[in-house]
Structure 1
Amino acid sequence: MNHLPEAWGRPRDDIYGAYDHQYVSASNPNQHTTSPVVTGTSVVALKYNGGVVIAADNLASYGSLARFTNVERLKQVGSHTVVGASGDVSDMQFLFDEQLEQLIISEEYQNDGHHLRAKHIYSYLSRVMYHRRSKFNPLWNVLLVAGWDDGKPFLASTDLLGTTFSGPALASGFGAHLAIPLLRRVCPDEAAVANITREQAISVIEECMKVLFYRDARSMNKYSMSIISGEGDKVEIEHRKDIQLKQQSWKFAESIRGYGAQVV
């Protein structure tokens, strides 16, 4: 027998000939990704009186390396919905470019005047995520679905386990720890949405993106924002690309004892 570590228990090739791997190929289990490599971080969203604001930065990190700096993680789906994704970028592209794109093509092909609203998109995505989880091959993403449904703003989330929930203020990734307290300061519950204006919602989201840039090592100072506003059945989606944060000067650190080459 061949007792070398790479071929324990197999017959020796020099005596019995080359080993035929076809005998064992059928019994090998399927293996799936359990540790995403290229990932995106937080998505932040907030309802206001008349719509929803959602934002995500444009960085895709290769491990801890800030590798890709122009990856948009927000996608408009149909005429009523914007989906934001954090987590594995390849799984996000599969959802955006194949699953959702094909869904919209199939729906619009009917040409019956009916359009998928935010709740329909969310229901579809939650079932896709749960289906993949049940096959032990999950899509490693957390999705935020923002849009307009039945004459009011809609915001909900689903993750790689198919867990579903909704709320007036949601965030994924590191934003679930840093941005949620800032969002709940102005929107503690669903009743507070009626008192939040469009300008206030945009200002709070901008503040969240600034905090995440300074505190999340996997974020950057360039991000995208979508503003979904509606009135009755009329919906308008404004998408702002490549928004640049106004960075704070770090010159104050020179006066801090222990910073840099100082003589104490």
Structure 2
Amino acid sequence: MNFTASKQPENCLLGPESDSQRTLSPYVTGTSVVALKYKDGILMAADMGGSYGSTLRYKSVERMKPIGKHSLLGASGEISDFQEILKYLDELILYDNMWDDGNSLGPKEVHNYLTRVMYNRRNKFNPLWNSLVLGGVKKGEKYLGTVSMIGVNFEDNHVATGFGNHLARPILRQEWHENLSFEDGVKLLEKCMRVLLYRDRSAINKLQIAKITEEGMTISQPYSLKTYWEFSAFENPTQGAVGSW
């Protein structure tokens, strides 16, 4: 049988742009981000795992980044799309600084910008495969919001992405209060991350916690949580389950 190459139409676009493709499905992804307001500012936590499909391929992926002077961004979902979003934000902050008018973008403005970016890409049927958490403090006002890959967004006193929406938010609703100290806020985030580690197969026991206040922001060095795996439900997870092996 004779195979011949099909002839390209004469009016097709040539050059690198004709072969350019975008993310059609997520490849390397990060799991939940959990964040809350505390007495002096915002606390945010995320582990450092990067999953290639169902394989935990990378174990040192930083998914929280400072944005400008007043904001902190955390992301779950596709890592390369998160890097693309960081490029957009670098351009935004640079353009804002070029005005040199003594003002700078606060977390509310950055969050609004991200909602427009995510919704715009969704309308082009070319979404950025991320769920984002944006927190910050400007002029004493704490701000915390989230936006999904299709542009759904809201503000709250505590937010989470991924499995955190199902497993961490109930804990936060029960235990969060307005006057949380830094130490109690960290303990609450660690409790949420420990539950996610037990229940989310994509989570790993290597995490960072970031803090942002009026004075500035810090992101902790990676560390591990103390865990306990001898619960009876872990030793025999199918016991009593109808229809299980």
TM-score norm. by structure 1 comes to 0.80
Partner of 1:183: 172
Q: Flag the 1:258–1:186 CA change in 2: closer, same or farther, 3 A.
A: closer
Q: Which residue of structure 1 lines up, in the alignment, with residue 193 of structure 2?
A: 209
Deviations 1:27-47 (A, max 9, x none): x9x975442111000000011
* 1:243 match: secondary structure: coil
Larger Rg: 1
Residue in 2 that maps onto 1:242:
222
CA–CA separation in structure 2 for the residues paired with 1:209 and 1:60: 16
Q: Pick the aligned partner of 1:161 from 138, 150, 160.
A: 150
Q: Which residue identity is paired with 1:243?
A: Y
How much does 1:243 deviate?
2.1
Give 2:88's aligned residue.
Answer: 99
The residue number in structure 1 matching 2:117 is: 128
Aligned 1:224-263 pairs, distance under 5 A: 224-230=208-214, 235-248=215-228, 250=229
Per the alignment, do residues 208 and 107 of structure 1 end up closer, same or farther by CA in structure 2, a change over 3 Å counting?
same
Residue among 103, 108, 111 paired with 1:114 = 103
What is aligned with 1:72? Answer: 62
Q: Distance in 2 between matches of 1:33 and 1:143?
A: 17
Distance apart, 1:25 and its partner CA = 5.1
- Corresponding position: 1:220 with 2:204: yes
Name the aligned partner's letter for residue 130 of structure 2. N
1:60-112 CA-to-partner distances (Å, cap 9, x unmatched) read 1000111011110000001111000001111001111x111121222223333
Unaligned runs of 5+ in 2: 239-245
Aligned residues between the structures = 231
| Deviations 1:160-219, CA, capped at 9 Å, x for gaps | 1111101111100111111101111123xxxx42x3222211110011111111111001
Distance 1:125 1:258 in 2: 41
Residue in 2 that maps onto 1:85: 75
List runs of 5+ in structure 1 lacking aligned partners: 5-11, 260-264
Shift of 1:150: 4.3
Aligned twin of 2:8 = 21
Match of 2:36 among 23, 29, 46: 46
| Deviation readout 1:121-140 (Å, 9 max, x if unpaired) | 11111111111111111101
Letter matched to residue 52 of structure 2: Y
- Checking the alignment, whether the CA contact within 8 Å between 1:51 and 1:148 is kept in structure 2 is yes
Q: Percent identity?
A: 40
* Distance (Å, rounded) in 1 between the aligned partners of 2:200 and 2:56: 12
Q: Distance in 2 between matches of 1:18 and 1:197?
A: 68
Normalised to the residue count of structure 2, the TM-score between the two structures is 0.85
Residue 8 of structure 1 corresponds to none
Instruction: Note closer, same or farther for the CA distance 1:204–1:18 as it changes in structure 2 (3 Å cut).
Output: closer
SS in 2 for 1:115: coil
RMSD over aligned Cα, in angstroms? 2.5
2: distance between equivalents of 1:81 and 1:204?
22
